[in-house]
Structures are given as structure tokens and as C-alpha cells.
Chains A and B, each alone.
Chain A
Amino acid sequence: MKAKKRVLLVPLDPVHDVGLKMIRKALDSAGHWTMLLPPDTPPEEAVQQAIENEVTEVLVGRTVSYEVAEVLGKFVDLAEAAGLRENARLVVGGMAMRPELAAELGFDAGFGPDTTVEEVVAFVEGRRHNPEQASTKRPKIRITEGYSYRFRDPTVEKLAGILAERCITWAQERTSPAVRRALYRRQLLELAREAEESGSTKAAQLERARADLYEQYLSLCDEQVVRAYRKEGLPRMVRELSAAEVRDLRRYVERCDEGVRPRSIRHCRERPAIFVQYGTGCPFMDIAHIKVSEAWGADGVVHFDPSWGARTEGLFEGHLTHQGDGSIISPENLRIISSSLSPSTLWQVRAHRGLNTPETVLLAAEVGADLTKVNMAYGCLGGGTDPERMVVDGVETIKIAARYGLPFDVVTNEELCGVPAYKAFASMLVVVAIALRLGGKPLLQPLFCRSPDVMVRGYMDDNYVDYNLAKLEVLKHIIHAPIWPGAPVGFLTHTQDRVQSSVSTALHAALAGRAGATAVTIASSDEAYSGGPISVASRVDTLRAVAEAFRFYGSSAVDASDRARNWAAELYDGIVRTLRAAQKEGFVASLYKGVFGSREDGAYPGRAGKGTVQQK
């Protein structure tokens, strides 16, 4: 056991002593003897008290910045002259202090304004400060825990349920190239595992089986994917990362992980989990963004794939980078990103809008993703995929996600096209009902955004709070399920000014937290800048801002105003009206016919994959 210390705490400051009081409390708790002198104690008296009480440490505090050198220098001189230094260490800290200044003045140590109480206690006790032990560990958040997934509103439950049942039955009779590719991919993964376990005994046989499966897989792929597999060339702007780069990346991650201090930016809240999006085009630059985001307190990261990848039949293989938004989904890219994540980081791989949805979720689950993203309505109304194809693929995807226990958010980004929130919520709730019937764990993802519909109707002319709260209120009224506002929060409120952008993001995130959201996705402060890639530093801007907003609001709650409650009631009526309108045609036909978002709204059924659905 460490020897107990005798510590004198001296505020050589006209009024400030709060820092010393906090340190004293911690030292007392650790069993040390302490004495705290009042502010403005003359240096002579402080030295005398130190000698009389035979202290081992004198902790001097100084907050005000005028005459710092004179006052502290005088104290050190007096301590020297009285022989105090022979038995005691002299330490100084406070707002006006820097370690260099402390050394210059003759102190044994100096602590600046960012010092924690734990650091000072560690110094007094003569041990190395270990922030990993001192700070709260950041466990991986169990994002769907505590939700019953019970519908609270019987009307919506019934209407969404009927549509879900019919949709599942309809999809069960159909298949698509993506559904079949996912099957082949699964078999390829199983073969790889078998080859690893059996060693060389069945190598030739397994290799033949693998080659056969690849041929079948490639027969369902677009030409550019086939060319890449046959080593005949990659798409324009795409290159394979070298083995040396892969090796260097692994070392880089190791260096990043050394001594990283787990940090929560949620202050006293366990939720919401704070997610950031990445997708620079290069998986290695993505990993740099991820490591920075982790270090500055992000709880989770979201993988963005390129929009062209979503319109391509088949997935590429290899460590691939390309110059453009979104990072290519390949088994190797996902594996190396997965292996670079800190253990506490939640990882979401989006799969919601394209022609590779089932296979993406299968791969993501296999390599360790925690979450994915599925919404057939957005995938076809805002994501460019044919509705029939998207629904067949989406139902299969939900089955895969359920098999792996992979929760997924049901994003409603069609609101950004102009679709009113109530219509987007109606289709989201149908997908949720489908998911629950198939054993899935969906998370509702309303947008916290200034959408075109909001702008036209003036819902946010006064403030950004009421309408966003109305969205949460109505969803909480309908079902007990996790709600994850996104994506990112504050969409269309951001400008290129990083201060404005960060503040807007932080306030939206804090609003979500105070309203009981499970998770929240935030942008970088480059959100509104389109002249180049998002810079790593811009991620720090918003994470710092969010941390400050959570610190500001703490565990305080926010109540919906009358206006918010009225809008929630209007949203509810719209949801029920939309679900009723869809009953006659069913879910898929309603997507084509604009029930869940029409051309007038700004939603257009996509065409990618049109005509590829087959009856089983």
C-alpha cells in the first residue's frame, strides 16, 4: 500500500479555490492528510503552515492571470529559504498555469486548465496516471435492449400488419439475381471455412467447387464486375490497394490504438449512441476517419457505399479504393475496416437502396457488423431501385439480418426528396411490421431535418424543435421500439460555416437525446461543403460540439409543446390515412402508384433492376 501523504492546499489567488477543493476531496477519499488554506493567504503564512504541519506536498492554485510570475516566484523563493523543499514537493495548477511556466518558476510540477483531479492525485501518490483506469470505460451500447417491439396503437398495428403479411407472401413466391447471389456468397463463405478446417486433404475438390460457384455467381453480375474478377480491369477511378499499403494500414491502426483513452461524449446519458458516417471512397482514409471519430467519442460508425455500386449487379473483391463519394463494398474492404474498429465501436453497414442488398447484409454480418440499414420504400422511391426488385431483395435481406441477429434501421430519407413525413412513416411502419414477422430487430429512423415539405409548409419557420419532437412523439405513441433520428440530424440546416454547422448538429443531437432517442447520426462540419472530400478535422468539430451540448443539457428532459402535440396528431392521421389507402393495392403496387410518396411529392419509383424479378 502507498504511504499516506500530508498535503497542504494553498490558493494563492484572491478568490478561487474550487479546483483545490475538488482535489482535496479526492485526496481525503484516498486516505491522505490534507489542509486547505483560505484564498488570498499570504505566501509567508502558507510556507509557515507547511513547515509546522510537516507536509510532503504543497499544492498551490492560481486562477487569475495577473502577477502570476511575481506571486508564485515569491512563494518558491520563500519555500527555498525556509528549507521547505528538502521535505516537500511544490506543485502549482490552475487556469493561469502551463507546465513550462511552472518549471520556469521553480515548481516540481505544473498542471494546466485541462487537468483532471485523478491526474493530480496520481502525481501526489507518485504513480503514473492511467487514464484508461481513471475514466469510465465505454462499453458497446446494446442498441435494441429494453424495447418490447409491441405496437401501442392497434389501428396502425392492424393496417401495417395486413400489408406486411401480403407483402411477405408475395415476396416468398419470387426471387432475384441478388437473392441468388447471396445464396452463392453464403456457399462460398462456407467453402472457405471448410477449406480452412480440412487443410490440404480436400483442397482440389474444394477448389473445383469454389470455381463452379464463382461461375454461377458471375453469371448474375454486370460486365464490370465480371471483368474485375477475371483480372481484365477495374472500373475507372478504382485501384487496388497494394499489399504494402495493407501492411502499413495494420501498423497504423496498432499505433492509433496504443493508449487511446475511451471517451464518452454523452456526459451522464447512456444513450443515444452517437454515430458518424464515413465513405471517403478509400477504406484506408475511412479507417483514419474512424480512428479519429473513436478518439473524439463517437460510439458508432456508418459505412457509406458509392451510389454507382448500388446500381451494379454483383460485388467486387479486393482492397479497393476509388476517387468519389462512398467506399466500395467488398469482402476485403469490410474485413479490414471491421478489424480496425475499437471493441466498443458499433458498426453499421448500409444495404438499403441497391441491387446487392441481401449479399451486403450477409457479408456485413459475417465480418462482424453490429447493424445494417434496410428500407424498401426509400430504396425505390429515393434510392433508384425498381420497387418490385427492392421488395423481393428487401424481404430476403430482413430474413438474413434476422438469422444473424443483426438489427437494422429503417431509414426515411425519401423525406429529402419531398415526401411528407407521414407517408414516409407509413411505409417505414410496414417495413417494421414485416421485420417483426420475420424475427428482425428494426430501429425507426425519422429524419431530424428541414425537409422540402417542412420548408413549403413552414413547420420550422419558428424553430427546429417542435416538428422534430412531433415526429418522435407520434412514433413513440405507435410502437415501443428504438428510435434513431438521422441521417444525419439537422439535414438541410447546415451551412459551410463550420461553427454554424457544428452548433446545428449539436443542438439536433442534444434534442434527440433529451427526447429519449436510442441513437443519433451526426454529420461533420463539412456537411454542406461540396468542393472536396470531408476532412478529418471536420469530424472533430461536430463531435466536440455534441459533447458540449450534452454537457450543457445533462439529464434534463424536454417536453413537447402544444404545437408539437398537435403536429404529432396530424402525423398520426396522415399515417393511418396512407396505410388505409395502401390496403387495396398492397405494399408493392402502392410504391409504384405513389401512395407512399408520389411524383408530385418528388418521389420517383427507381428503375435499376427493373424486370429482373422472377417467379420461383
Chain B
Amino acid sequence: MEMGFAEHVLDAVDIETLLKCDTEADARRMVIEWLKSLGLNDVDVVFLEHTPVGTRVRARAYLYRPGDRYPWLSRKDGARAEGGSVACEG
């Protein structure tokens, strides 16, 4: 079975975008909620810069933290890895 996207990720997925929202808190809440809606639970905002025009935001979802069992480590060509502690559905 082919490995899924999440099993190829070394550690984390970052998303960067520019949101149109009223406050910094809104931007933070929205991006976190969106990541969680994707099934990503270990999430955080790395960087946020709010202006009246828009909010530049970079958020991160850790799929594997140091010390986890990493699927990419045990990958065999074309085979799904065993173990892992994937924090998302990916």
C-alpha cells in the first residue's frame, strides 16, 4: 500500500497566508480552527502580523515530534510504514 502524505512529512506542516479579519485574535482563532478541522491537533501559530489591511499568518501542525516513531524512517519502497504517532488523518 502506498504511504499517505502525512507519512512522508518529516516533522511539521506550515501554512502561510494572508487573512482579511478584524483582529489578531480572530486570525489566530481562525487558522487554528481550520487546521483542527483538517484533523491536525498539535497546532500552533508561529508568526502573526496584523494590520488593518490584513493579517499575515504562519501556522504549524506538528505531525511528529522528536522522540515519536517516524513513518518515514521505516518506509520501505511502496509499503506503508508501521507504527508512528500521526496526529492527523492524512
Please tell me if the beta carbons of B66 and A281 are within 8 angstroms of each other in the complex: yes
Residues of A within 8 A of B10 (CB): 288, 292, 536-537
Contacting pair A323 B47 (CB below 8 A): no
Chain A, range 10-29, C-beta contacts under 8 Å to B = none
**Chain B contacts of A614 at CB under 8 A?**
none
Residues of B within 8 A of A529 (CB): 46-47
Answer yes or no: A535 CB below 8 A from chain B CBs: yes
With a CB–CB cut-off of 8 A, which chain A residues contact B72?
A: 252, 288
CA distance A323 to B10 in the complex (A): 16
Indicate if the CB atoms of A322 and B46 lie closer than 8 Å.
no
Tell me whether B14 is interfacial, beta carbon within 8 Å: yes
State whether the Cβ of B49 lies closer than 8 Å to any Cβ in chain A.
yes
A3 part of interface (Cβ distance < 8 Å): no
One of B46, B47, B58, B67 near A239 (C-beta < 8 A): B67
B67 with A323: CB separation less than 8 A: yes
Known A284-B70, A496-B46, A531-B44; contact A536-B11, beta-carbon cutoff 8 A? yes
Contact with A along B3-25 (1 / 0, CB 8 A): 00000001110100000000000
Majority secondary structure of chain B interface residues (helix, strand, loop or mixed): loop
- Which residues of A321-347 are within 8 A (CB) of B? 321-323
Contact A248 B12 (CB under 8 A): no
With A531-B44, A535-B11 known as contacts, the answer to whether A323 contacts B65 (CB < 8 A) is yes
Choose among A248, A288, A498, A533 the residue with the greatest number of B CB atoms under 10 Å from its CB: A248
| Beta-carbon contact of A284 and B62 below 8 Å | no
Query: From residue A253, how far is it (CB to closest CB) to chain B in Å?
Result: 10
A438 within 8 A of B: no
Q: How far is the CA of A239 from the CA of B66 in the complex (A)?
A: 11
CB <8 Å contact, A245 and B49: no
Q: Is B60 an interface residue (CB 8 A)?
A: yes
On chain B, the number of residues with a Cβ less than 8 Å from chain A's Cβ atoms is: 24
Per the 8 Å Cβ criterion, residues 16-69 of B in contact with A are 42, 44-47, 49, 58, 60, 62, 64-69
Could you tell me if B73 and A248 are in contact, using CB atoms closer than 8 angstroms?
A: yes
Q: Does A117 contact B (CB under 8 A)?
A: no
* B70 close to A285 (CB less than 8 A): yes
Q: Is A60 part of the binding interface, using a Cβ–Cβ cutoff of 8 Å?
A: no
Q: Which of A69-85 contact B (CB under 8 A)?
A: none
| C-alpha spacing A262/B15, complex, angstroms | 30
Task: Please tell me the number of chain A residues within 8 Å of chain B, measured between CB atoms.
Answer: 29
Residues of chain B lying within 8 A (CB to CB) of residue A536: 10-12
B46 touches A531 (CB 8 A): yes
CA distance A90 to B28 in the complex (A): 52
| Bound CA–CA A518/B58 (angstroms) | 35
Give the nearest-CB partner of B64 in chain A: A285
User: Distance in Å from the Cβ of B50 to the closest Cβ of chain A?
Assistant: 13
Tell whether A532 is near chain B: CB-to-CB under 8 Å: yes
A244 interface contact, C-beta 8 A:
yes
Q: Is the CB of A498 within 8 A of B69?
A: no
Chain A residues with CB below 8 A from B67, complex form:
237, 239, 281-282, 285, 321-323
* CB of A248, distance to nearest CB on chain B (Å): 4
A249 at the interface (CB under 8 A from B): yes
Q: Which residue of B lies closest to A501 (CB)?
A: B47
Q: Does A360 contact B (CB under 8 A)?
A: no
**A248: chain B residues within 8 A (beta carbon):** 73-74
Contact of A497 with B by CB under 8 A: yes
Does residue A397 face the partner (Cβ distance < 8 Å to B)?
no
How far is the CB of B69 from the nearest CB of chain A, in Å? Answer: 7
Instruction: State whether the Cβ of A280 lies closer than 8 Å to any Cβ in chain B.
Output: yes
Interchain CB contact under 8 A, A244 and B74:
yes
Complex CA gap A322/B72 in Å reads 19
Q: CB distance B73 to A535 under 8 Å?
A: no
Closest-CB distance, A87 to chain B (whole angstroms): 41
Contacts A280-B66, A533-B62: A285 and B11 contacting too (C-beta < 8 A)? Answer: yes
A503 to B8, CA, bound (A): 29
Cβ of A499 to closest chain B Cβ, rounded Å: 9
**Quick one: which of A219-253 are within 8 Å of B by CB?**
237, 239, 244-245, 248-249, 252
A323 to chain B, nearest CB (A): 5
A529-B47, A532-B65, A533-B66 given; 12 more Cβ-contact pairs under 8 Å: A245-B69, A282-B66, A284-B70, A285-B11, A285-B67, A288-B72, A496-B46, A531-B45, A532-B62, A533-B11, A535-B14, A537-B14
Q: Which 10 A-B pairs have the closest CB atoms?
A: A282-B66, A280-B66, A281-B66, A496-B47, A285-B66, A248-B74, A531-B44, A535-B12, A321-B67, A536-B10
